[in-house]
Structure 1
Amino acid sequence: MPRLFTAIEIPAEIGERLALLRGGLPGARWIDPENYHLTLRFIGDIDDALARDVSQVLGGVRRPGFELHLDGLDAFGGRKPRAVIAAAPATAALVELQAEHERLMRRIGLAAEARKFTPHVTLARLRGVSSRQVADYLATRAGFRTLPFRAERFVLMSSRASVGGGPYVVEAAYPLGAGSTD
């Protein structure tokens, strides 16, 4: 039973910049750079028949490629921080692609995603790290921003059940730009 999600991959040169942010936060479990991605839609643990349906409907997505960048670091979890992330602006092209994935998953019978889409790349998972430690970490890295990069495709990825951060496997890739109306 695969655990699936859709994502935009992070180019190696952006991953190298993100990897320089590792360290300086005791208790953080840092994501390996080859596992950096921006999740579009978490699908979850599904059977093989539904996984085939997911792959098939994603093959019908026709959207243009677009530019993205990462702009700032943040944390999820408030007083009990659980992750450090690099945020991505919610551009129209990104939000529309994510919304199409949501519609398609609901059309084939999956429940609606409960969480609001917040575009980001997870850098570290946290356990037992104080909000003060996270605030200090973020303060010393204020102003982080990457150069723009082009999203030329999205992928269907699988992961094994683990305590965080991969390994992830690209199960299928779908080009952006082919057959788009732009």
Structure 2
Amino acid sequence: MPVLFSALVPPDDVVEQVAAALGEPGDGLRWEPPERWHVTLAYYGPDDVETRAAWLADRLTGRASVDVRLEKAATFPGVLWLTVAGSELTPLAHAAGADAEARPYTAHLTLARFPREEPGLAARWTEELAGFTSRSWRAAEVALMTSEREPGGPRYRVARVFELDGA
């Protein structure tokens, strides 16, 4: 069974804006390539695509599209990420199943990973991206994604797309 999660995928111009802000990274961090950038709503683990898609369709029916914006960088232990602003994002994530997770939902877009014992590796980027703000966009769909292990990192694929109601 594939590993599944639901996510918002930023539009191409926002991805380009983030990539431009990063320039030529490096610094000993393991950078996520732009084609893997997403904002996770909920993680499901190994699951059947059809069963999860039916469940998710039921949970998302009638949900409104949401305004989203990427902002300054922050860190979790071992992870450099951009914060995500959007007041309706957390309720959408909970509808998608984030409320079933043990930890509170924190909307973010993972940029890079680093050894937990070396948090200073990300310090330059939290400072450099402190004033970063992407353009806002209306997220009008939720993607059910699969994650497959491959050499060089996971490969994410869109299994299904669920349209959200326009505002």
TM-score (norm 1): 0.81
Deviation at 1:151, TM superposition (A): 0.2
Quote the RMSD (CA, aligned, Å).
Answer: 2.2
Counterpart Cα distance in 2 of 1:115 and 1:163: 29
Please tell me whether residue 88 in structure 1 is matched to residue 77 in structure 2: no
Q: Report the structure number with the largest CA radius of gyration.
A: 1
- Partner of 2:89, secondary structure, is helix
Deviation at 1:36, TM superposition (A): 0.8
TM-score (norm 2): 0.87
Q: Calculate percent identity across the aligned residue pairs.
A: 30
Counterpart Cα distance in 1 of 2:111 and 2:66: 23
Give the aligned partner of residue 160 of structure 2: 172
Relative to structure 2, which stretch is displaced further, 115-124 or 16-25? 16-25
Deviations 1:26-51 (A, max 9, x none): 221111111110000000112x3xx3
- Partner of 1:160, secondary structure, is strand
**Structure with a larger share of its residues in strand:** 2
Aligned residues: 164
Relative to structure 2, which stretch is displaced further, 114-123 or 22-31? 22-31
Does the 8 A contact of 2:73 with 2:125 survive in 1?
no
Give the aligned partner of residue 57 of structure 2: 59
Residue ranges of structure 1 left out of the alignment (5+ in a row): 107-111
Deviation at 1:164, TM superposition (A): 7.5
Does the 8 A contact of 1:25 with 1:134 survive in 2?
no
Does the 8 A contact of 1:27 with 1:128 survive in 2?
no
Residue identity in the other structure for 1:19: A
Distance change in 2, residues 1:125/1:133 (3 Å): closer
